[in-house]
Structure 1
Amino acid sequence: MIFKTWTTGLLALCSSTLTSASAIPYVDDQAVLKYADHAASPHDVDADTFTRPSWFTSTLMARRLLALSPSGVISTTFPSHIPASSRTPAEVAGFPIGLREYIADCDGILPENLSHGDNGDPTILALRVATTFRNIGTGSNLSLEIDWWDHLSDAGAVYPGLPPSPAALPRITLFGYLDTLPELSVAAAASLEKCFLQSHPDAKYWLPATPGSPHASYWARLVVTHVYWIGGFGDVQQIGWMNVTEWKGIRQHGSLPGVGDGRGWEDVRLPGEKKGHGAL
């Protein structure tokens, strides 16, 4: 079976580089993908089943994953020096931490002078008290990971011969920086709140400037500079760095001139999506 053949070979490749029980092997990702390309005998599987989608189709899927995802894990790093007065243990200085945060794909509803053109920069409701945003405030880099793993029961088995597996489902990591939105007009704030609350109705209690809110908050967006994609298993899906120009040029209905083949993220579906399922 192709999966057994591929994983057995990959494990052998990894184990051959170990020099001690604690050693961590370095495996060149391109070499692994090249190995996966040739691991299966043409007699093992139907060729059409194991044809990878193009990189542009994969980017459409990634943009759809963002559009349908209400949350993601933002990874930051604690500052290199933690004051003695802080409740944070000094021993975690410089360590990374990943915490799930609310997100939404709402940039397209902002006024033209504030919007990035609905180009895949996710909107974030930031709480000033939250560790994620405190770390960012001290200069931490950040990344945002989102995935389709919660849809395993809908997707079922997407890899021939293998039972349902989260590892076969797509995920992305977005790299970039946090851009705090300026004060919005009443109309712009209402539009952004409506968009965000479609995915997070409970967040109405800590929206910016909400009377009696338990937390001070502000609107921000992750300005995406790099995108790393894992579509699933490498012999049937793309794995690697996406073309950011294509990422930023895709819209829900169509793409900007010269970007891909003109399709938008509404023209693709993620594993297990029912026919006719549109954006949230």
Structure 2
Amino acid sequence: MIFQPLTAGLLALCSSTFTSASVIPPLANQGVLNYADHANTAHDIDADSVTRPSWFTSTLMARRLLALSPNGVISTTFPSQIPAWSRTPAEVAGLPIGLREYIADCDGILPEYLSHGDNGDPTILALRIATTFRNTAAGSNLSLEIDWWDHLSEAGAVYPGLPPSPAALPRITLFGYLDPLPELSGIAAVNLEKCFLRSHPDAKYWLPGTPGSPHASFWARLVVTQVYWIGGFGDVQQIGWMNVTEWKGIRRDGSLAGVGDGRGWEDVRLPGEKHPAHGAL
């Protein structure tokens, strides 16, 4: 069967059945989007030179995406019954809502008794008044979506024959639960604040315990239980559920014994990145 180029590309992009255990046909056996007439010739890519990265390399890229991302969209659901005193419309009971929140990859600087070993559980500065955290307090599940779409101008065209396209850039959704951190003091609090404020200097005004803060806040982390990855278009990138053991075993400069080939997320680059990585982490 021969697909029209656009149909084949969309099927590759939208499929939700690919997993690390799936049998994915090689690039030569798949339809390739053909937008040559509209391509940015400065970024033309030879389709024959494009190969799909391994699942472990993709997981390294996903961990790097987390490490470089200052925010993401957290999705929760409203309670099935909205309290009568609430200003939230009763009609949204049980419905999902996605809101962008500040995050940072700071677990590795937490005290040893508290850290999860820098295993990819993002740190979140939670405002008690915010809808996201009111929903989790009421028992909602949550997921966190982060992506590389803001880097389109740097990445340029990354797919053969296609002009620069956000859909060709990676994104992940992390599933799990919110784990509030205990109140920190001394050097532990200083280290966490320094790590988080590196990405969010404005957040110093509503850090936990800040005098005169407009909002009450607390530190929390998303404990990751599942990871869904879309590396780009499915004929040149992996799409599907990642190996959570590999996700949790990757570190910046290497991986735990028995995890992948020993590389860390510093050994890969996302589309458009230069060597070394953007900024100091």
Offset at residue 274 of structure 1 (A): 1.4
Unaligned runs of 5+ in 2: 33-44
2:186 pairs with 1:186:
yes
In 2, the alpha carbon distance for the partners of 1:92 and 1:219 equals: 28
Please give the TM-score of this superposition, normalised by the length of structure 2: 0.88
2:258 pairs with 1:267:
no
2:27 pairs with 1:39:
no
2:44 pairs with 1:50:
no
CA shift in 2, pair 1:276/1:11, >3 Å: closer
- The residue number in structure 1 matching 2:38 is none
Contact kept in structure 2, 1:75 and 1:142, CA below 8 Å: yes
Which secondary structure does the structure 1 equivalent of 2:273 belong to? coil
Unaligned runs of 5+ in 1: 14-25
- The residue number in structure 2 matching 1:7 is 6
CA shift in 2, pair 1:251/1:141, >3 Å: same
Which structure's relative contact order is higher, taking Cα pairs within 8 Å and 6+ residues apart? 2
In 1, the alpha carbon distance for the partners of 2:60 and 2:192 equals: 24
Which secondary structure does the structure 2 equivalent of 1:29 belong to? coil
Query: Structure 1 residues 81-90 or 68-77, which shifts more?
Result: 81-90
- 1:228-247 to 2 correspondence within 5 Å? 228-247=228-247
In 2, the alpha carbon distance for the partners of 1:7 and 1:179 equals: 43
Offset at residue 85 of structure 1 (A): 1.4
Q: For each residue in 1:54-77, what CA deviation from the matched residue of structure 2 results, as whole angstroms up to 9, or x when unmatched?
A: 000000000000000000000000
Aligned positions, number: 264
Instruction: Give the residue type in structure 1 aligned to 2:107.
Output: D
Query: Structure 1 residues 240-249 or 179-188, which shifts more?
Result: 179-188
Offset at residue 184 of structure 1 (A): 1.3
In 2, the alpha carbon distance for the partners of 1:123 and 1:12 equals: 35
In 2, the alpha carbon distance for the partners of 1:247 and 1:28 equals: 20
In 1, the alpha carbon distance for the partners of 2:77 and 2:26 equals: 34
Contact kept in structure 2, 1:143 and 1:176, CA below 8 Å: yes
- The residue number in structure 1 matching 2:249 is 249
Which secondary structure does the structure 2 equivalent of 1:246 belong to? helix
The share of aligned pairs that are identical, in percent, is: 80
In 1, the alpha carbon distance for the partners of 2:260 and 2:96 equals: 36
Q: For each residue in 1:205-236, what CA deviation from the matched residue of structure 2 results, as whole angstroms up to 9, or x when unmatched?
A: 00000000000000000000000000000000
Instruction: Give the residue type in structure 2 aligned to 1:184.
Output: L
Instruction: Give the residue type in structure 2 aligned to 1:8.
Output: T
- The residue number in structure 2 matching 1:61 is 61
Please give the TM-score of this superposition, normalised by the length of structure 1: 0.88
- The residue number in structure 2 matching 1:29 is 17
Contact kept in structure 1, 2:47 and 2:160, CA below 8 Å: no
Instruction: Give the residue type in structure 2 aligned to 1:108.
Output: G
Which secondary structure does the structure 1 equivalent of 2:6 belong to? helix
Instruction: Give the residue type in structure 2 aligned to 1:49.
Output: S
Offset at residue 34 of structure 1 (A): 4.7
RMSD: 2.6
Contact kept in structure 1, 2:180 and 2:219, CA below 8 Å: yes
- The residue number in structure 2 matching 1:217 is 217
